[in-house]
Amino acid sequence: MSPERTTDAIYLDFNATTPILPEVLDAMLPYLREGFGNPSSDHAQGIRAREGVELARGQVAALIGGSANEIVFTSCATESSNLAIRGVAATRAAPGRVVTSSIEHPATTSPCAELEARGWTITRVRPRSNGVVDVSDIEQALGPDVAIVTLMHANNEIGTIQPVGDVATRAHAVGAVVHTDAAQSIGKIPVRVDDLGVDLLTIAGHKLYAPKGVGALYVRHGTVIQPVLRGAGQEHGLRPGTENVASIVGLGRACELAGERLATERVRIRQLRDQLWERLRAVIPDLAMNGDPERRLPNTLSVRFPRVDGARLLAAARGVAASTGSACHSGEVLPPDVVVQLGVDPTSALGTVRLSLGFTTTIDHVTRAADALTSAWQAVTRGGMA
């Protein structure tokens, strides 16, 4: 990869992953050097590593308003959601029903599909045209046979925020266990387990300036759940395997920083995001926004560029690192499924570009990215349909 691509790119893909903050790396390094012990060992090195893990457990819990002993460290958000869904399903003697949305991440859809293959019924509720699932639609899907309700807190592609709290109240009324995938919302908006009323909540390290390869699952006291991996008794017996100490320490520090910075960062990033939208729209008046303009993450701008393919646009907008959300299937480029589910026609949905901002984004980045994208759009569309 050329240096230009790695260093000069204007990074607007924070929903894909975030850089590790310097403070996070500083917290981790001692655990990659002299603090290398196994947290299960009772000698000095082990105790030191254990203290690092337990400090992190408290820091993660503090950010979401849980107790330290309700945090289970995992390897990623995918593992957390698998543990939540498959771990609860494993406690049931017979297949039951899961209620979920039709716009979940594969970390949720795949374990649900696996349960379906084993005789469970999966009810997938579609969002309304604004990308938000309506509480009444979930309510209609609920019944006494529902064992699990899993609804993402914020959508990774379009950023829409789902009514998890209202859904949890109704789901609990029918006796279901409630899980939310908060991989995208943690650190961007307030996420408090009691406000959301959830039993299980997924966290990903690399979406909030901690390393990749670490995540956590919040498990509310009293939730009946079994481990998915089998091994020794780490993590309250729910996730065996020697802990990834340095990364866990990094996740803890990242949560602490997120808590300190959330109030100011939310406002700052939202302003930058809105300026980006205004700058793009000034040149491309028929640019369209995907999803609810208000009820979405402050950092996320999913837009449809008219008369162009998003991938072709990004290839032409040199130096802008963003994503299209499109998928390639049998050699054919498919538009982002979530955008099609909003009722957007597939050709127009192919013009989607997801611009997601973060802690290192500045007004200079926004200005340069807007210029690069609008120039690219003009160049690509000059000859007519791209």
Residues at the interface with ligand PLP (CB under 6 A): 76-78, 105, 107, 152, 156, 181, 183-184, 204, 206
CB of 311 to ligand PLP, least distance (A): 18
CB of 107 to ligand PLP, least distance (A): 4
Closer CB to ligand PLP, residue 35 or residue 190?
190
Active-site residue, selected from the candidate residues 76, 112, 255, 328: 328
Parallel, antiparallel, or unpaired for β 200-204 and 177-181? parallel
Closer CB to ligand PLP, residue 72 or residue 370?
72
Closer CB to ligand PLP, residue 18 or residue 234?
18
CB of 173 to ligand PLP, least distance (A): 26
CB of 76 to ligand PLP, least distance (A): 3
- Nearest Cα to Cα of residue 21 among 220, 212, 283, 211: 211
SS (H, E, C) the chain: CCHHHHHHCEECECCCCCCCCHHHHHHHHHHHCCCCCCCCCCCHHHHHHHHHHHHHHHHHHHHHCCCHHHEEEECCHHHHHHHHHHHHHCCCCCCCEEEEECCCCHHHHHHHHHHHHCCCEEEEECCCCCCCCCHHHHHHHCCCCEEEEECCCECCCCCEECCHHHHHHHHHHCCCEEEEECCCCECCECCCHHHHCCCEEEEEHHHCCCCCCCEEEEECCCCCCCCCCCCCCCHHHCCCCCCCHHHHHHHHHHHHHHHHHHHHHHHHHHHHHHHHHHHHHHHCCCCEECCCCCCECCCEEEEECCCCCHHHHHHHCCCEECECCCEEECCEEECCHHHHHCCCCHHHHCCEEEEECCCCCCHHHHHHHHHHHHHHHHHHHCCCCC
CB of 271 to ligand PLP, least distance (A): 24
Closer CB to ligand PLP, residue 105 or residue 268?
105
CB of 247 to ligand PLP, least distance (A): 12
Check if 112 is active-site.
no
Closer CB to ligand PLP, residue 24 or residue 204?
204
Torsion of CA 256, 262, 264, 270, to 10 degrees: 150
Closer CB to ligand PLP, residue 96 or residue 187?
187
Which of the residues are catalytic? 328
